[in-house]
Amino acid sequence: MRAAAAVLVVTVALLVAVPARASEKHPTLAELEGEVMCLVCATTLDQSHSPFAERERALIRRLIAAGYTKSQIKDRLVAEYGEEILAAPPQHGFNLIAWVLPIVGVIAAGVVLGWLAWRWSHGRKEPPTPKPPGAPPLDPELERQLDAELARFDG
């Protein structure tokens, strides 16, 4: 059973990896438009119709025709326009915080909510009320009558 699961995992990984490698080597304009920003509109290139966006698209088309990979095209755009040209921050250096912080926040919120739920479900039990010191014990008949009266109010 474990061997079948391992084979399935490896097969899925390979099926996902092959298109990713092909996409890296032979990118399309449509792929890159969602990953690159129009600096004039502050939107992704696929949502922009400004003259600047049209120049960016023309540059990307030329680089694709010249055989550039997806990474090379992005590197060229970053060299020309700076890192703000990328729709997602790079996953290194200080920008790594933008990738890690949301994950840490979700995990921390889950831990806090789990702890609060556990604490709520295991609520504190009130300790029995101690009898005042030196109080005489109740007469058994009086205690029975008191219990009967309290039961009548509860019912």
Contacts of 34 by beta carbon, 8 Å cutoff, 6+ apart = 44, 45, 46, 87
Give the CATH fold of the 2-88 domain: Helicase, Ruva Protein; domain 3 (1.10.8)
For residue 112, pLDDT beyond 90: yes
Query: Are the beta carbons of 41 and 85 closer than 8 angstroms?
Result: no
For residue 19, pLDDT beyond 70: no
Contacts of 27 by beta carbon, 8 Å cutoff, 6+ apart = 64, 68, 69, 70, 73
What are the angstrom distances between the C-alpha of 94 and each of 58, 83, 100, 101, 105?
Answer: 31, 13, 11, 11, 17
Against a cut of 0.75, is the pTM above it? no
In the chain, domain spans:
2-88, 94-120
For residue 14, pLDDT beyond 60: no
- Helices (H) and strands (E) counted in the chain, each on its own, are 6, 2
Query: Are the beta carbons of 85 and 39 closer than 8 angstroms?
Result: yes
Task: Convert the pLDDT of each residue in 34-71 to its tens digit.
Answer: 889 888 888 888 888 889 889 989 999 999 999 999 98
Residue 20's pLDDT is 43
Residue 17's pLDDT is 46
Summarize the confidence of residues 78-88 as an average pLDDT: 85
Summarize the confidence of residues 100-120 as an average pLDDT: 91
Residue 18's pLDDT is 45
Exposure of 74 by Cβ count < 10 A (0-12 exposed, 13-18 middle, 19+ buried)?
buried
Residue 29's pLDDT is 87
Query: Are the beta carbons of 45 and 33 closer than 8 angstroms?
Result: yes
